[in-house]
Amino acid sequence: MKICVYKPNPLSVKYIKQWEEANNIEVDIVDEPINDDNISRLEDADGLVLIVSNTLSDDIYQKIADYGIKQISITSVGYDKIDLDKADEASLIVTNTPDYSPESIAEFTVMMILKLLKKDSEIQKDIENKDFRFSENKLGKTLRGKTVGIYGLGTIGYLVAESLKPFGVKILATTPHPKSYAKNIVDFVEFDELLEKSDIFSIHAALVDENFHQFDKNAFSKMKDGALVVNTSRGGLIDTAALLDAIETGKVDGAALDVYENEEGIYGKDKPDYEDEIFDILLNHPKVDMYSHIAFFTDTALENQIKYALDNALEVIETGDSKNRVN
């Protein structure tokens, strides 16, 4: 048996080797994303794992199936880069890797909220310039007593709520499937109430057609003046131009963004060649903390991502289905 893994992070290779040895299954590592030039590596393979950072071409799904592959296992929770309709047409089972390390993202989110509240980026800029004054641009805010609105209360959202509760905050949540066990720490509300009552927004929903640009001009208009927005989920949940307008008018006092709606071709690269005026504005804006889709990036997450993805591929090969199937 052989499973092909396309474009793994070099730091993940040792975990692939560990899985290979533990399961006595050959893993073929391909250093580039899957494409017409390297898809032939599937010739004698039984399974496929993809690290997907860019949208797959429409014709690649059937080409994968033509090699006898029955599944695509991806290493992320989100699968918005995969066209599930095209996968269905090619009879490919698509699996994701939920819960590979929700703690990694939840902890990073709490850090982002605190850094945003305490004006850490301004403090660090001034320190670099040897400006140690107690000036207005560094005047922070306390977290205690604030209302935090969580959009999307899955595993990560719940861990964020659980982590924030000891700070003395009130937590509201809007989510399609409220969990009864969460009612001891959050109040479930409709989206409009979330917008109207929250001081800080933490976004943790999967991106689907129905919630694209969920946070748009209309949503920002309903927020309290001076709200803070934090996103570690998917960039497409926010209309970035509308966010910038809300910051300029003072409706939003600051944003911390680990994801960006047009990040494809930018994040994961060294000095990427891009033309994106809005992205450059975000990078240099004094009220925006920009990260690089890196909240997940811990040793625990890297190990679990690749091993869980390989487990998913093996499960489909052996049983014809998977508990982590998304189509």
Is 318 a known active-site residue? no
End-to-end CA distance of the chain: 25
Question: CB of 291 within 8 A of CB of 266?
Answer: no
Catalytic residue among 41, 261, 293, 303: 293
SS3 288: strand
Q: 325 an active-site residue?
A: no
Do residues 92 and 66 lie in contact, with contact meaning Cβ atoms separated by under 8 Å? no
**Cα gap 24→78, rounded to integer Å:** 29
Q: What are phi and psi of 19, to 5 degrees?
A: -65, -45
β-strand partners of 238: 215
Q: Residue 66 in contact with residue 48, Cβ under 8 Å?
A: no
Q: DSSP letter at 184?
A: G
Strand partners, 92: none
Q: 127-139 burial, b for 16+ CB within 10 Å, e for fewer?
A: eeeeeeeeeeebe
Would you call 180 helix, strand, or coil by DSSP?
helix
Active site residue 210: no
Asked if 34 and 60 touch (Cβ cutoff 8 Å), the reply is: yes
Please identify which of the residues 234, 261, 303, 315 carries the catalytic annotation: 234
| Residues with catalytic function | 234, 263, 293
